[in-house]
Amino acid sequence: MTTDDGANALYRYIGAFTAQLARSGVGHAVIAPGSRSTPLTLGLDRHPSIKTWLHVDERAAGYFALGLARQLNAPVAIVTTSGTASANLLPSIVEASLSRIPLVALTADRPPELRDIGANQTIDQTGLFGSHARWAVELPVTDGSAALEAYARSIAARAVASAAEAPAGPVHVNVPLREPLIGAGWQRAFDEGAATASLDVLPNPVTPFEQPAPRRPYAPVLTPQIKRPHEHARAAAARLVGPILGRRGIIVCGPESAGLPAEAIDTLARTLGWPILADPLSGVRTGRHSMVRVIDTYDALLRSPRFAARAAPEVVLRFGAAPTSKVLNQFLASLDGVPQFVVDVAGGWRDPDAVASVMLRAEPHGLCDAVVEALGARRPSAFTGAANDPARVGAPYHADSSWLQFWTGANSTARAALDQMLRDTSEPFEGYAPVALASALRDVSTVVLGNSMIIRDADSFMWGQPRALRFLGTRGASGIDGVVSTAVGAAAAGLGPVAALVGDLSFLHDLNGLWALRRHHLSLLVALVNNDGGGIFHFLPQADHAPAEFEEWFGTPHGLDFSGAIGTFGGRLVRPEPSEWLDALRSAANLPGLTVVELRTDRERNVALHREAWERVDAALRDAEAEPTPPAAAGAR
């Protein structure tokens, strides 16, 4: 076999694999350059249905792919060469796993005969990402046979299906490649292999799954063993209606990468007369659905012990991951004896405080619709419960409005107190940053929120808005790495303007991510909250109990001026006064390319201003206590 024959066999093999990726739903591939990955790079770039994106930093490339996949809600491939290049994907793979983002990691590798003998740029890449990958496999080195080409097609289809299947996540395909890595006629050989792609995978609408709950043996998993999705939803609803009927409850919407079905959840809340405590990353705090039942100040409200005592529900229904707010999580954990239903479509176990009474395996949209249908039904046959089940009520359900009015009234009180503080405060206040940014953006915009103080301030201060604003984050592992690159990847999706709200340490950590903006002619607005260090640590015990060591090891002032770095990547920097934040962000939102609006703040003053905000809310609630405590549940009428 000549050199060209060997290369052509390889490209037929890669053609079959690549075309099957495209047929299975991969429309974008992010590629970090390298020699060993040459066949993957050329093949993906040649395929007409796959758009390729170059990135020179593998760690940033992984987050770029993550942001792209999250924005598109579709699998994205990420390619690296062998060695530490592949290892640099680990942070983004971890985040994708915990945030349920479909990534297909294709790591080029040396062939087996070069492993563990000191060959250059060769590490053990099999199982490189461990349990963080939904599925991991190694392609065999091709022998030129049609059988192995068929096997490659099967692996490609399974990889995409495994990444997209609920709960979505990353998969890892390690691809050992033997030289020659290219030869004359590779294009024709690739096209011949690509023409063989023919496998289709049809999704299973229901995945039966039952298992005992860890740490809470009394928290069963309810997954009706049925075949049709609408029957699945109706059966799940029948198990849920009885415990919630006539009860004062709350709906908690935690972070969800693909976004929760806001309109369906709002319809359920309206039917039940329950408030919706909506995390900014849930897809429910903002949107074109009604905001009447959305509680956006719960983080401030529940800091008041008196309010928390009065607000204790009789049942909790949670969608999505655990909320961002520590105060809300502590409130939920304190509800001894209160049934808590955690709804999740499949797999995973998102109950870090072990508060769930029931883990309900159901698709949220279908479940909400089925419960609403059941509560409005006049025929007992609408339910599958026993004859004496309270769900089998002949008349439609009518909610008692006083419970919802109690929550929405308190929300209005807290919102007025917080808004007044923002108007009264002339000095820079980090809590105003998410408010100003959201106000500056037009509809159909996406905001990528950083971690640490950024997401917490968005949770605390950003009000619910009936606008098409989408908020994304990297709350799976909550790292400060990769936030900029995630935003750049989201911008690459081309679904509207994208902005990022990040802290200075997150920005510093991922400066390389800005390179892709210039390379691919993308636009991004960065609202940079710069407090010269780690502001969140001022809220933690380290600030009080290690004062001598605090600034060096936790405050970590860097003293950097970012203007030079921003200019290197072709961006512009704006440094407005506090009174000019909103106007500066509005102006920057309409500019092409990279614009960074730097919002300078003081860490110690920021703590004081946050405490003042909570005190104002508590005082406003005390002033409003003339209103009666919500009455006991009246039940269905």
Position 631 confidence tier, pLDDT thresholds 50, 70, 90: low
Count of the separate structural domains present in the chain: 3
One-letter amino acid at 69 equals: A
Q: Please tell me what DSSP assigns to residue 551.
A: I
199 near 60, Cβ under 8 Å? no
In a domain, 384, yes or no: yes
Q: What is the CATH number of the domain that holds 182?
A: 3.40.50.970
Position 5 confidence tier, pLDDT thresholds 50, 70, 90: confident
User: Which one is predicted more confidently, 203 or 633?
Assistant: 203
At 555 the pLDDT is: 79
At 422 the pLDDT is: 92
At 1 the pLDDT is: 56
One domain for residues 373 and 509: no
141, 175, 194 - which closes a domain: 194
> Which range among 128-137, 377-386, 567-576, 580-589 shows the weakest confidence by mean pLDDT?
377-386
Give the tens place of pLDDT for each residue, 130-167.
999 999 999 999 999 999 999 999 999 999 999 999 89
In a domain, 472, yes or no: yes
| The dihedral formed by the CA atoms of 569, 455, 251 and 269, expressed in degrees to the nearest 10 | -50
Per-chain mean pLDDT for the chain: 89
* Full domain range(s) for residue 503: 428-601
Give the tens place of pLDDT for each residue, 199-225.
787 765 444 333 333 333 334 444 444
At 603 the pLDDT is: 87
194, 213, 242 - which closes a domain: 194
One domain for residues 311 and 443: no
Closest to 503 in 3D by CA, of 541, 543, 448: 448
pTM, entire model: 0.91
Position 556 confidence tier, pLDDT thresholds 50, 70, 90: confident
Q: For residue 298, is pLDDT > 70?
A: yes
Position 532 confidence tier, pLDDT thresholds 50, 70, 90: confident
Q: For residue 14, is pLDDT > 70?
A: yes
- How many angstroms separate the CA atoms of 593 and 572, rounded? 9
- How many angstroms separate the CA atoms of 596 and 514, rounded? 11
One domain for residues 250 and 393: yes
In a domain, 81, yes or no: yes
In a domain, 208, yes or no: no
Position 427 confidence tier, pLDDT thresholds 50, 70, 90: very high
In a domain, 462, yes or no: yes
In a domain, 366, yes or no: yes
In a domain, 418, yes or no: no
In a domain, 373, yes or no: yes
b/e code 217-236 from CB counts within 10 Å (16+ = b):
eebbbebbeeeeeeebbbbb
What Rg value do the Cα atoms of the chain yield, rounded? Answer: 26
> Which range among 93-97, 220-224, 256-260, 555-559 shows the weakest confidence by mean pLDDT?
220-224
One domain for residues 393 and 316: yes
- How many angstroms separate the CA atoms of 292 and 275, rounded? 9
Give the tens place of pLDDT for each residue, 159-177.
999 999 989 999 999 999 9
